[in-house]
Structure 1
Amino acid sequence: MPLVAQSTFRPLIGLGNPHLQTLLPAIARHMPPLPWSRERLELADGDFLDLDWLNPGHGRLLILSHGLEGNSRRPYVAGLARAAARRNWSVLAWNFRGCSGELNRLPRFYHSGASEDLAAVVTHAAQTGRFEVLALAGFSLGGNMTLKYLGERHASTVPVAAGVALSTPCDLAAASAAMERLRVWPYMSRFQKEILRKWSLKKALFPGLIPEINPRYQRTFRQIDNTFTAPLHGFAHAEAYWQACSANAFLPSIRVPALILNAADDPFLAPSCFPYEFASQSPWVHLEVPERGGHVGFMDRWGSQCDLWSEVRALEFLESFCTV
């Protein structure tokens, strides 16, 4: 029964608060720059994805998917990438459409269910012929995308051996509602500004395709997804988008070991983002719920050279299934 009964995570003394766990790793974890090597992957629809490679070689490859309005250089991505490279993994951290510092070419952007882009990255990596084993790890939105991909591609010939999803909103509708709570409004306000800034840039390029931007009426994920995400990516409305793309719907189809690592105090998540009942009966989907950790936090130590608990835990899980 892959329901981890007792997590080993213990927060750094004084950092038990979920907001401290969420904020400090993002704003105060100063890491030395990593020697990334960038590659541009041209897509069949005329768009592109920017891929960042670390320690490229042979053997095992870990493909990392970042979170909402993130990129491959965010501390949480760089932290897991560095920890993996230290354990002799090759790492590919890809940037979603419009997230690499350059606006993408098409009217569309990325979204929680854009697993076709992850599929293009995985296929490209596999076709290099350099890697015997591929594994996936995703953060938040990228975690949802990772689980969706694993559920969709269970019969794929691409050799993905295992996956990890960290701080993942497995139920997008419930998580979107959770982000409307007053105590998380500062986070939502930041996301709103970044998302609308990008849509403003997109509207300048495609004025007839992008709806009017009015921050007064696009303050929540429901409003943003109804106005932009859903119609511009082929969904009737926000609810249809959430229903089609939530990871919970794809968990029964996963046929490789997958770990969902969600903190019980994650301020971004709702109860339905913790699939306890399903994991207790699944031979494939493992669920670990530390009491503390915040959202993409899990800070148990301090120092620019330290690997955080979540990074070690994710790699230990993957390495138990990824041998070369």
Structure 2
Amino acid sequence: MPILKSSYKAKALFKNGHFATIYSAKLRPSPVLEQQRERLELSDGDFIDTDWSFAEISEEKTTKLAILMHGLEGNAQRTYMKGQGKILIENGWDVAAMNHRGCSGEENRLYLSYNSGRTEDLDELIEHILSNYKYDEIALIGFSLGGNVILKYLGERDTFPKQIKSAVGVSVPLYLRGALEQLIKPENVVYSQTFINDLRKKYKRKMVYFPDAMNAEELKQIKNLLEFDHRYTAKAHGFKDAFDYYEKSSALQYLPNIKIPVLILNAENDSFLSPECYPFDIAKNHKNIYLEVPKTGGHVGFHKSNAVYYSEKRTLKFITDHE
């Protein structure tokens, strides 16, 4: 499809990508959204928790569901997840906000956890939903890492359930090595340090349960995101090293095979994203890839008001147009 012209224009301080990113992650008041937790026991003996919210305006139970996936070290209670969920339930969609393994407030059971390319848990959740609930239409919505997982899921499979009609990825690091190289730049030290501090804490907690695979000496070596991916992510998930993980898990290579309409909303001033994360050439020649690149918006920071973000309204419109 042609590249979409964006109507989004940030105002005042939100024109600055870093301000938009930090405000949206740390300062935006959390939208009010009722959530009900369901635990899914996975086939490998682990579990994931999904937080459900239900359509407010439907007199009869809706047949439309949106599955939401959060970003690195996020959870279903993040403001961007609740903001998206709120506008969806107000417009007739149920919402299943999936927490990645180990992100729901309780450590997962296995040595492995989640990563940017692990689609198996999403696949099991979808199969569980289709086996136990009656939804005719499903939309997949992912933020940052979650967006990469969703786009890879859609592109790596020749077939998937017919109920999945559309997908949206917001601020998606489609090319993981490039995104890593961006994150470790000095301008992004606040973000990368926050991520590595959280990941080191998680490693330390996990180390107690897996002393044969994890140890304090290795933890000392994990001083940045690349080292974490070398020493934990790659090892725990069957990759040779971090670069093998980035190469095999990046959604960019899977975009040409996507068979349903997807919207990729990546801001031009998103400091997390490398040039490869803006797939203009693919979108120009692909009937299902809709690429929108506003000049502003930062990383998941498309502020219009605290009540509703541009990305939230845009996502609703896209999945509604492609029911």
Q: Which TM-score applies when normalising by structure 1?
A: 0.95
What residue in structure 2 maps to residue 104 of structure 1? 108
Equivalent pair of 1:200/1:213 in contact (CA under 8 Å) = no
What residue in structure 1 maps to residue 274 of structure 2? 270
Q: Which runs of 4+ in 1 moved over 6 A?
A: none
What residue in structure 1 maps to residue 49 of structure 2? 50
Structure 2 residue corresponding to 1:136, chosen from 140, 148, 155: 140
Taking a change above 3 Å as real, the CA distance of residues 32 and 213 of structure 1, as seen in their structure-2 partners, is farther
How far off its partner does 1:153 sit? 3.1
Question: Is 2:154 the partner of 1:150?
Answer: yes
Q: Which runs of 5+ in 1 are unaligned?
A: none
Question: Is 2:3 the partner of 1:3?
Answer: yes
How far off its partner does 1:29 sit? 1.4
Taking a change above 3 Å as real, the CA distance of residues 211 and 246 of structure 1, as seen in their structure-2 partners, is farther
Question: Is 2:38 the partner of 1:39?
Answer: yes
How far off its partner does 1:313 sit? 0.3
Matches of residues 173-212 of structure 1 in structure 2 within 5 Å? 173-212=177-216
How far off its partner does 1:16 sit? 0.6
Q: What CA RMSD, in Å, does the superposition of the two structures yield over aligned residues?
A: 1.3
How far off its partner does 1:209 sit? 1.3
Matches of residues 252-291 of structure 1 in structure 2 within 5 Å? 252-291=256-295
Question: 3-state SS of the aligned residue for 2:13?
Answer: coil
For 1:167 and 1:111, locate their aligned partners in 2 and report how far apart those are by CA, in whole Å: 16
Question: 3-state SS of the aligned residue for 1:161?
Answer: strand
For 1:157 and 1:97, locate their aligned partners in 2 and report how far apart those are by CA, in whole Å: 23
Question: Is 2:314 the partner of 1:313?
Answer: yes
Question: Is 2:300 the partner of 1:292?
Answer: no
Identity in percent: 39
What residue in structure 2 maps to residue 13 of structure 1? 12
Q: Deviations over 1:61-103 (max 9, x none)?
A: 0000000000000000000000101111000001000000000
Q: Which TM-score applies when normalising by structure 2?
A: 0.95
> How many residue pairs align between the two structures?
318
Taking a change above 3 Å as real, the CA distance of residues 2 and 155 of structure 1, as seen in their structure-2 partners, is farther
Q: Which runs of 5+ in 2 are unaligned?
A: 56-60
Q: Deviations over 1:246-285 (max 9, x none)?
A: 0001101100001110000001110011101111101111
For 2:183 and 2:218, locate their aligned partners in 1 and report how far apart those are by CA, in whole Å: 19
Equivalent pair of 2:137/2:163 in contact (CA under 8 Å) = yes
Taking a change above 3 Å as real, the CA distance of residues 218 and 188 of structure 1, as seen in their structure-2 partners, is same
Question: 3-state SS of the aligned residue for 1:223?
Answer: helix
Q: Deviations over 1:12-66 (max 9, x none)?
A: 3232100111011111211354210110000000000001100064311000000
